[in-house]
């Protein structure tokens, strides 16, 4: 006797649609560039977020907060 006879075939399984979450690259607020040099990092601030201090190739310095 086949012990797997009661299981549905793969084509009969209902699949749940997964939500899509998009993530964009950090961009310079001055020029919109994505070539950023990270010169300081706080990897974990206790809540799972990270803080980067970056400098764009245009010279602008700013912070990036990853939550």
Residue-wise pLDDT for 5-15, tens only, equals 666 666 667 88
The whole domain housing 35 covers 31-67
Higher local confidence (pLDDT), 6 or 35 = 35
Counted domains in the chain: 1
pLDDT at position 67: 87
| pTM across the whole model | 0.66
Asked whether residue 50 is assigned to any structural domain, the reply reads yes
* DSSP code, position 24: P
Asked whether residue 60 is assigned to any structural domain, the reply reads yes
pLDDT at position 58: 97
Higher local confidence (pLDDT), 36 or 12 = 36
Answer yes or no: are the C-beta atoms of 7 and 13 closer than 8 Å.
Answer: no
Asked whether residue 36 is assigned to any structural domain, the reply reads yes
């Amino acid at each position: 006797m086949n012990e797997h006879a009661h299981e549905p075939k793969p084509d009969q399984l209902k699949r749940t649609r997964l939500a899509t979450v998009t993530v964009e690259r950090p961009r310079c607020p001055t020029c919109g560039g994505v070539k950023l040099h990270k010169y300081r990092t706080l990897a974990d601030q206790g809540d799972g977020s990270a803080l980067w201090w970056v400098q764009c190739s245009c010279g602008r310095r700013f912070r990036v907060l990853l939550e």
